Every structure is written in C-alpha cells, then in structure tokens.
Amino acid sequence: MTSRAYLSIENLGVTFGTTSEVLRGVDLTVDRGEFISIIGHSGCGKSTLLNVVAGLLPVSMGAVILDKQAVEAPGPDRAVVFQNHSLLPWLTVYENVRLAVDKVFGGTRPRADRHAWTLENLALVQMTHAKDKKPHEISGGMKQRVGLARALAMEPKVLLLDEPFGALDALTRANLQDSVMEIHAKLGNTVLMITHDVDEAVLLSDRIVMMTNGPAASIGDIVTVGLPRPRRRLEVDTVPAYAAARHAVVEFLYSRHAAVRTAA
C-alpha cells in the first residue's frame, strides 16, 4: 500500500504484552474530507484503532501516515472527542475551549484573534449563550457540543470521534448528529468515528468500516454509503441507497454475532 492518501493505515498490528493480539493487518486509506465510521462488536479493537491514529497507543507493526507524516505521538493535528466530554470542571465553557486554542495557537496568533476564534467555534456548535457557565450547569448534550467545539478549534487534520453520542438520550443524540452533519458540510473536515449505532453510521458516513471479531481483528468489509449530501434525517430512510447500506451492515454484524454463538 502506498501513502498517497491523506490518511493511510498500513498493515497495522497491535499486540498488548506478548500474547494479546488486538489488531492484525489493518489496511485503510481515507481521503481528505471523508467521513468514515468504524463499527463492530465489542472487543473488535475499534477504540484501539482510533487510539493508534490519535497517537495514544504505539503500533506493534505497520504504520499510520497522516498527510505524508508518520503518526508516532499525540499532536494537535488529531483531535479526539470521547464519550466522556472530559471538560475541566473549574473552567467555564469559554475557558475550556480557549485553553485548547491557547495551547495550539498561543505562539502564532494574537490574543484578540484567539478570543474571536474561540467564540467562532462556540457559535459553530450553538453554545455561545452558555459560554460563561461551568460544566455542571449544562446538560450532557451541551457538554458534548463544547467538547466538539474544543476539538474543532484546534483545526485538526483529522477529527476522531469515539462514540461521542453513546451516553445521550435519543433526541439529544439526533440533534447532535444533525449538527455534526452541518459542521462537516461547512468545514469539509476529515472524520473518523467509532459507533455501535448502525443508523448513525449510515446517516453520517461516506464509508462504513466493519471490523471482524477479536482477537486479532481486522477489517472484514467496507460499505460505501451512496447517499448524496446534504442529508435530511426524515428523508433518507425512504432512499434505496440508505436501505441497502443499512442492510449490508446489519447482515455483517449479525453473521459475526452468529459465528460467536456457534463457537461458544
């Protein structure tokens, strides 16, 4: 595999200790501006793969190449939004985002520009009205919006989402999904997202990467979602391409689940 893609995961293997092989031979290329979802049963190494791309875990073999540079450590070119918002409770919404802005751009942008950039990203996730509130004063969905603003404010080359909506109620989750689609349409950012939700993956993604069961998990198949953008939640479920992509993912996951039950 060559490294000409914007993000290239090449023959990736991850082993913990000497015996626990989590990932084996993972190959994936991602174009600039693509939205990729990674889905699979628990224990298939989804989070491990994301953490390797983030630079939080070392590879045992293979490589991750981002914009022609090898990923070997965490960096501001890869921002992660976890299921747990990870906001600092003693800082306001504004200060949580500003902290990231100062960390990345403190030496390159004047103070007034950093202030304006912080406000711009809060506006992007519709959180300007709560900029002076502390995390304990806002809802779970609002906290995730702040976490997303903080990540986007770093201007990462790749936005990494680790089940960012998994702990939210259905309505809040749907609203945030719509916001992510709008932001992706506006910014054209490259996104790698882990999810357990098939409908979420089909709605948001250009392609869905389906992982085999662990240990030694790899990519079992990739589904291309042939839905034009912009996508409207209330319309896509009547489109044949939506149904086809959803069926392919459900069929893959069901076959893997059935294989586990047979083996047991």
Does 3.30.70.360 match the CATH number of domain 1-77+189-264?
no
How high is the pLDDT of residue 234? 87
pLDDT for 237 equals 81
The pLDDT score that the predictor gives to residue 257 is: 55
pLDDT of residue 262: 47
- Check residue 263 and give its pLDDT: 45
Give the whole-angstrom CA distance, residue 144 versus residue 69.
30
Q: Measured between alpha carbons, how far apart are the two ends of the chain, in Å?
A: 36
Helix H or strand E segment including 15: strand 7-16
What is each CA distance from 231 to 147, 181, 237, in whole angstroms? 24, 8, 10
Report mean pLDDT in 10-residue bins for the chain, 264 residues. 77 90 96 96 92 95 95 94 89 98 96 98 96 96 95 96 88 92 94 95 97 93 93 88 94 72 46
pLDDT digits (tens, 9 = 90+) for 1-14: 444 689 999 999 99
Six token digits for residue 65: 């190449």
pLDDT attached to residue 260: 47
Cα distance between residue 2 and residue 7, in whole Å: 11
Residue 78 near residue 53 (C-beta atoms within 8 A): yes
State the pLDDT at residue 83: 83
Q: Is 95 left (phi over 0), alpha (psi -120 to 50) or beta?
A: alpha
Cα(44)–Cα(219) distance, integer angstroms: 10
* Phi and psi angles of residue 208, each rounded to the nearest 5 degrees, phi first: -120, 120
How would you list the strands of the sheet with 61-66, edge to edge? Answer: 20-30, 7-16, 61-66, 69-70
